Structure 1
Amino acid sequence: MNKGGIRLYYKNQEELSYALRDYIDDYFEGNIEDEALEEKIFKVVECNKVKFYKDNEIAKKPKQILGKTRLNVLEQILMKKREE
């Protein structure tokens, strides 16, 4: 992961999904604070909506790569950010 900022654009669903997975794993390992994780996840998903969603729900590939636990974290972050 680059130190200065975050990469916002990914070329395909797989690359995007693994990046999101890595962010959430960093959080689980205690390497990133709640606010920083929320900001990263929201920005990356917003910039890659076309790849992340299919028919208004999370696409199959990201769901498979993220798994249930990470997906729950991600969905909670996205719901929280939409309410802000």
Structure 2
Amino acid sequence: MNKGGIRLYYKNQEELSYALRNYIDNYFEGNIEDEDLEEKIFSVIQANKNKFYKDGEIAKKPKQILGKTRLNVLEQILEKKN
């Protein structure tokens, strides 16, 4: 499932976090619609759960790279999808 050229798998937490950050920043700049952002975020996190979560929580590295505002957006998307 490689919709719209999105990459699903990342080799480490840092790469994954920067990709998520870029998606959310594009959304803030008005370049991505809500539904498109939600689909991308959800797909990428589903494919990289082992890198994104640690002990049932979002891992430290993604939290640092994403920052509070982006994390809020991301958490809202995940809540909506679950």
TM-score, normalization: structure 2? 0.95
Unpaired segments ≥5 residues, structure 1: none
Residue 10 of structure 1: aligned partner = 10
- Deviant stretches of 4+, over 3 Å: none
Unpaired segments ≥5 residues, structure 2: none
Q: CA deviation at 1:4?
A: 3.8
Report SS of the residue matched to 1:8: coil
Q: How many residues align?
A: 80
Residue 55 of structure 2: aligned partner = 55
1:1-84 → structure 2 map (5 Å cutoff)? 4-82=4-82
Report SS of the residue matched to 1:11: coil
What do you get for the CA RMSD once the two structures are aligned? 1.1
TM-score, normalization: structure 1? 0.93
**Structure 1 vs Structure 2: percent identity of aligned residues?**
86
